Amino acid sequence: MVRLKPLPAELALRPFTVQESRTLGVPPKRLRAKDVSDGGRQIHLPTGREFELVQRARVLAAATPGAWVSHESAALLIPLGLPPWLGNADTVHLSKPHGLPRVRRRGVTGHRVHVLPGEVIELDGVPVSSPSRTWLDLAHQLTLPYVIAMGDQLIRTPRSGFEGRSEPYAIKEQLRVLIRRHPNMKGVEKARLALEEMRVGADSFPETLCGWP
């Protein structure tokens, strides 16, 4: 009986791309063994494991040139919080700029968007919509109170000892500029209304929503 050579430690516990396996010297035939499953185009994963959103988002973005994690998935990774009817972690939201084809693969909800410099950041090596852009992307899906609540999370002063940052994600003037840069985007009017109601000081969605009539 032929014994399989173990996968490299870097690949044994997470999804990985074909390119990653080649870089680490894994022969193509090793990827056809029973302990490796097909994760879709250019992706493989160790068999029998469940993977967190960040692991799936990382490999899907790596396997999809020009794409980044956006919308609900970005809100979960940052995190900004979401209302209970959003945030189905079974699918990863990936965006591409207009001019490139929409992402179409298993486990992905694809978007094509107009994006400007500075609106995609890197979060632990994963390309992700910036917090402010994520708020604007989701404005058309959220009710006004939730747009305000998510906006409050953008502008609140973080607790540096717990969150690893001392500055807010954005200030209101930066959000006004963002809105002006995307005048035809779905939800932009709702975001503009929310901006006038947003206040620094709310530490959570419930704290904002408790003050909403």
Beta pairing, strands 126-129 & 120-123: antiparallel
DSSP H or E stretch at residue 44: strand 43-46
Query: What is the mean pLDDT, run by run of 10 residues, along the chain of 213 residues?
Result: 79 94 94 92 92 94 95 94 81 93 90 96 96 98 94 90 85 97 96 94 70 58
Q: Of 46, 62, 128, 50, which Cα lies nearest the Cα of 89?
A: 50
Q: What is the pLDDT of residue 212?
A: 56
pLDDT at 122: 96
CA dihedral 73, 74, 76, 78 (to 10 degrees): 160
| Bridging pattern class, strands 108-113 and 92-97 | parallel
Strand pairing report for 43-46 and 68-69: unpaired
Q: What is the pLDDT of residue 1?
A: 42
Q: Model-level pTM greater than 0.95?
A: no
Q: How is residue 49 written in tokens?
A: 């494991």
Question: And the tokens for 83?
Answer: 């209302």
β-bridge mates for residue 111, sequence order: 95
Angle at the Cα of 185 from the Cα atoms of 200 and 57, rounded to 5 degrees: 75
User: How high is the pLDDT of residue 110?
Assistant: 95
Give the residue extent of every domain in the chain: 16-46, 68-210
Q: Which stretches of the chain are DSSP H helices?
A: 18-23, 53-62, 71-77, 131-138, 144-155, 160-163, 172-181, 188-197, 205-210
